């Protein structure tokens, strides 16, 4: 039986210092059926030069202006041929060379969402855990418990859904909340999947983050219960204040 293709989509912009390590972590995987897709938003540093050096090993290299990281992800997913899709940043790395092999060994015909653990490196805030253990349950209504770089998505999840590029920080949370509302089953794998930079906007706890969360959750109100409708704004504000006080 042929191993299912796993498409690894890497959106990148001005990541000359990190993109080679990211690509190497993919190219050294022991899993045989990988497709590498890189979507570069017309980087102005040496990123494009480095990508050209690896062009023979990249299945799809898209270099064009985009509307942010989630728009780039959508472009990559649109050309992906894999049965499974993994999204990683240009400054992230797969944690070990057998990560994809371990995850694919856990797939069964009913699996649509597999997720594990992520190591946060260069943490900008003390409340960001060294290891994020993803979960996919009711707590996701309060916060994004599903770290994107911990998730392998079955391609069918994108047939009628995509990331909303209007959200610049939390389109992945919006997508995960939609999956939860659609009653998609997720399965935890006790595997450290990636090492991720933890100094970006989603880990700095600015009001830009929480303001976007309020705007995003407003679109989910009709699909949630009364308690969610009453508490989602106060809960978001309370999270913001807690993170600021703890910072």
Domain boundaries, given as residue ranges, for the chain: 6-200
Q: What is the pLDDT of residue 240?
A: 46
Tokens 């649109």 locate to 78
Q: What is the pLDDT of residue 20?
A: 98
Per DSSP, the three-state class of 183 is: coil
CATH homologous superfamily for the domain 6-200: Spore Coat Polysaccharide Biosynthesis Protein SpsA; Chain A (3.90.550.10)
Q: What is the pLDDT of residue 2?
A: 83
Q: What is the pLDDT of residue 230?
A: 52
Q: What is the pLDDT of residue 244?
A: 47
Q: What is the pLDDT of residue 207?
A: 58
- What's the predicted TM-score (pTM) here? 0.87
Q: What is the pLDDT of residue 128?
A: 76
187-197 and 93-94: which strand pairing?
Answer: antiparallel
pLDDT tens for 155-189 read 999 999 999 999 989 999 999 999 999 999 999 99
Helix and strand numbers, DSSP H then E, in the chain: 7, 9
- Residue (of 57, 54, 78, 84) closest to 66 by Cα position: 78
Stretches in the chain below the pLDDT threshold 50? 201-203, 240, 244-246
Q: What is the pLDDT of residue 232?
A: 53
Q: What is the pLDDT of residue 138?
A: 86
Instruction: Tally the C-alpha atoms within 13 A of residue 242's C-alpha that lie toward its C-beta.
Output: 9
> E strands along the chain, which residues?
6-12, 34-40, 60-63, 84-87, 93-94, 113-121, 131-133, 151-154, 187-197
Secondary structure element (H or E) that encloses residue 228, with its range: helix 226-246
Q: What is the pLDDT of residue 89?
A: 94
Convert 103-113 to b/e letters by CB count within 10 Å (16 or more is b).
bbeebeeeebb
- Residue (of 220, 91, 231) closest to 167 by Cα position: 220
């Amino acid at each position: 039986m042929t191993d299912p293709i796993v498409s690894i989509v890497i959106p990148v912009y001005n990541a000359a210092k990190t993109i080679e390590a990211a690509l190497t972590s993919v190219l050294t995987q022991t899993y045989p059926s990988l497709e590498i897709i890189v979507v570069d938003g017309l980087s102005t540093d040496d990123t494009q030069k480095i990508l050209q050096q690896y062009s023979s090993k990249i299945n799809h290299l898209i270099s064009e202006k985009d509307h942010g990281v989630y728009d780039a992800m959508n472009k990559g997913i649109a050309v992906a041929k894999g049965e499974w899709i993994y999204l990683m940043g240009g400054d992230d790395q797969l944690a070990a060379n057998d990560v994809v092999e371990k995850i694919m060994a856990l797939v069964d015909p009913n699996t649509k969402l597999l997720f594990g653990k992520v190591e946060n490196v260069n943490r900008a805030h003390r409340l960001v855990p060294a290891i994020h253990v993803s979960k996919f349950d009711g707590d996701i209504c309060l916060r994004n418990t599903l770290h994107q770089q911990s998730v392998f998505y079955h391609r069918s999840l994108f047939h009628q859904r995509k990331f909303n590029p209007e959200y610049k920080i939390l389109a992945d949370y919006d997508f995960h909340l939609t999956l939860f509302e659609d009653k998609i089953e997720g399965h935890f794998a006790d595997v450290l999947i990636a090492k991720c930079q933890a100094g970006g906007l989603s880990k700095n706890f600015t009001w830009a983050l929480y303001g976007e969360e309020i705007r995003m959750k407003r679109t989910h109100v009709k699909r949630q219960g009364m308690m969610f409708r009453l508490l989602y704004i106060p809960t978001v504000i309370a999270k913001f204040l807690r993170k600021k006080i703890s910072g």
